[in-house]
Amino acid sequence: MDTGELTAGRPLPEVGDRTRPFWDAVADHRLVIQYCDACSRWLHPPLPLCPSCGRPDPGWRPVSGDGVVSAFTVVHRPPLPVFDPPYVIAMVELDDAPVRVLSNVIGREPSAVHLGLPVRVTFRAVGDRSLYFFAPRDGSDD
Amino acid sequence: MTDHGRGAAIAGVHTTEQGELTGRTHHEVLREAVLGAVADAGLDLADVDGLANIRSDTKSAAVAAPGLWAELLDRPLTYHHMVDVAGASHCASIGHAAAHVSAGLCDTVVVVSGWIRGTRREIVREMAYMHGEFDASWGSLAASWFAMIAREFMRRGGVTSDDLAHVAVAARRWAALHPQALRRKPLTVDDVRAGPMVADPLRRLDCCQTNNGAGAVVVTTTDRARSGPHRPVTVLGSGECYTRRGYTDVTAALTDGGAATSARRAMDSAGIGVGDVDLFGLYDPFTFMPLLLLQEIGFCTGAEAAELAAAGELGPGGRVPLNTHGGALSWGNSINSLAHVIESVRQLQGRAGPRQVDDPELALVHGFGGTLNLHSTTILAGQP
C-alpha cells in the first residue's frame, strides 16, 4: 500500500486534497463539517459532491463540537496492538449538524459511558498529526 | 424472477478445504473451485462461457481478471461479470448470471469466490486505508462496527447475550455434521459466555474467524442442468438494495430498510412469500445477524427470532433450519454468503448427508457487505 503511513503504529491515512480543509482545521484544534451553502445541507463523512444540487466539493462550516453519544461499544480486543483496551468507540451525534461522527470517548471509565451522554470534542497529538476525540462535557455526571 | 427466456439453474457446486491452507496459493484454490464445480455439474471446461465474481488483482486494466483467467484456464472466455458490491456480490452474481443465461447472453457461468489472504496485520492495515480517514484511526474495525449495531438491535428488541450464544450453539451443531467445517467441537451457551469480550456485546464465539478457502457455483440453462448428474436448482428470484457508504453511521442499518427491500424484491420476483421458505441461508459473520435478518426479511420480530434460537429451533431437527453447513460462524468465512448458496443447493438436491432437511423446496439466501449497507438476496427452488 502506498496510500498511508503508520505513525506510532496507529493507522493515519494520507489526507487527500478533497478533505484537506477538514484536517487543516483539526490541526488547528477546530472541527468543521462539510456543508453545501446553496442547499443548507450537512454532509459527513465528506462526499465528492452535494447530493441535492450536484455541486462538486461543497465547502466547510465550523461546528461547536458538542454532541451526544448515539451509539457505542467498548473494545476489549483491538485490531492493532497500538490501541490500549478497553476503550470506547462511539458515534457522536452533533448538536449543530444532523450528522454522526465516529471517534473515541475519552476521559471517563468505559463502563460509565452511556447512550445520550453529552460530550465535547477535544484534540490530541498523534505523532506529528492531530486527531479529534470526545470527552464528557464539564459538569456532566450522568 | 420473471422468465423472459430459457430459464437458468444451478447444476453443480464445489467447496475446497477450509483453514490456513498453508502452502497453497490464491489462484490455485480458486482454480480448484472452478474445475470442481464444473465437474460436479457433469460438464467440461469447454462448456463454460466465463466466470463471475472474480475481482481483478490490481487496478491495471492490462491484467484485469477475465484476461488473467483466460490464461489460467488456458482458453478464451466469452463472458465475465463482476458485481462490485463487496459481501453482497455473491448473491447478486448468482442473480445476474441466471438473468444472463436466461436471456441467452451465455450458456454456462461459474460464480466463484475465495482467497488465500495475507497476515492479519496486512489485512488490518489494508482495510484501515480502504475505509478512509474517518474510522480506523480510532481503533475501529469490523467487530466494533457490528458491536454498535448489535447493541442497538438488542436494546430495541429485548434480545439478550444468551440469545446470541444460542445462535453460535446452533451453528456449531450443524457444523459438527459437515466434514469441511472449521469449528466442529461441541459448544454450549456457557462456553460462549466464558469467551473473552471482543467488542461489547460480542464475545469471541459471537464472531466468525477469517480463513482461507474457495467455492464455486455453476449456473447454466435449465435444459443443460437437467441432463447433469444432480437435480437442477432453479434460480427463482433475486433482489438487491444499496443504501449508503458502510462506515461511521453504522446503526443506520437498523432503520434504512436495505435488507428488507432486497429480500422483498427477491421474493416478489420469485412470486413467493416468506412463509413459503423451507430453508434459510442468512450470512452470519456475527451471531446477532441471523436474528436481525429474520426480522428484516419479515419472517418474525427480533424478539421472536431470539426465542426460536433459545428453543433450539435454528439447529438440527429444529423448525427453522438456518445455515445448515454451520455458517460463517462455524463452517468458515472464506467465501462469505456463497457458502450459504452452496449449502442451499446441496440441501435442495437432497445431498446434504447427515445435515439433510426433510424435502426442502424453497431456500432464501441473503448476503450483505460493509456494515449492512449493501444487500442481495437469492431465492432457490428444488426440482422434484
pLDDT digits (tens, 9 = 90+) for A12-21: 767 888 899 9
Q: Answer yes or no: do B88 and B161 share one domain.
A: no
Q: Answer yes or no: do B175 and B53 share one domain.
A: no
- Rounded percentage of chain A residues whose pLDDT exceeds 90: 75
Which of A44, A76, A131 shows the shortest C-beta gap to B196? A76
Integer-rounded Cα Rg, in Å, for chain A is: 16
Q: Answer yes or no: do B190 and B277 share one domain.
A: yes
B266: cell is 427477491
pLDDT at A33 over 90: yes
B116: cell is 488465500
Residue A29's pLDDT band (cuts 50, 70, 90): very high
Q: Answer yes or no: do B156 and B39 share one domain.
A: no
Q: Answer yes or no: do B262 and B170 share one domain.
A: yes
- If one counts the domains in chain B, the total is 2
Q: Answer yes or no: do B50 and B29 share one domain.
A: yes
Distance CA A33, CA B356 (A): 54
pLDDT for the residue numbered B280:
98
Asked if residue B330 is part of any domain, the answer here is yes
Asked if residue B3 is part of any domain, the answer here is no
Instruction: Please check whether residue B152 touches A, CB under 8 A.
Output: yes
Which of B124, B134, B196 shows the shortest C-beta gap to A45? B134
Distance CA B178, CA B238 (A): 27
pLDDT for the residue numbered A3:
32
Domain that holds residue B62: 8-118+212-234
Which of B125, B137, B144 shows the shortest C-beta gap to A73? B144
Residues of B within 8 A of A13 (CB-CB) are 128-129, 132-133, 136-137
Residues of A within 8 A of B198 (CB-CB) are 75-77
Read off the CATH number of the domain in which B316 is found: 3.40.47.10
pLDDT for the residue numbered A1:
28
Q: Does B248 sit within 8 Å of A44, measured CB to CB?
A: yes
DSSP 8-class letter at A137? P
pLDDT for the residue numbered A140:
57
Instruction: Please check whether residue A42 touches B, CB under 8 A.
Output: no
pLDDT for the residue numbered B140:
87
Asked if residue B127 is part of any domain, the answer here is no
Q: CA nearest B144: which of A45, A62, A85?
A: A85
Q: Answer yes or no: do B219 and B158 share one domain.
A: no
Q: Helix H segments across B189-257? A: 189-194, 222-226
Q: Answer yes or no: do B199 and B183 share one domain.
A: yes
Q: Answer yes or no: do B298 and B361 share one domain.
A: yes
Q: Answer yes or no: do B350 and B324 share one domain.
A: yes
Asked if residue B130 is part of any domain, the answer here is no
Residues of A within 8 A of B247 (CB-CB) are 45, 102
Q: Closest Cα of chain B to A138: distance in Å? A: 23
Asked if residue B302 is part of any domain, the answer here is yes
- Residue B320's contacts (CB-CB under 8 Å, 6 or more residues apart) are B280, B294, B299, B308, B313, B314
pLDDT at A2 over 80: no
Asked if residue B1 is part of any domain, the answer here is no
Q: Answer yes or no: do B279 and B369 share one domain.
A: yes
Residues of A within 8 A of B253 (CB-CB) are none
pLDDT at A5 over 50: no
| B137: alpha, beta or left? (left if phi > 0; alpha if psi -120 to 50) | alpha
Q: Does B248 sit within 8 Å of A101, measured CB to CB?
A: yes
**Spans of chain B below 70 pLDDT:** 1-5, 120-121, 124-125, 127-132
Q: Answer yes or no: do B295 and B216 share one domain.
A: no
Q: CA dihedral defined by B143, B204, B326, B271, rounded to 10 degrees?
A: -30
Q: Closest Cα of chain A to B177: distance in Å? A: 31
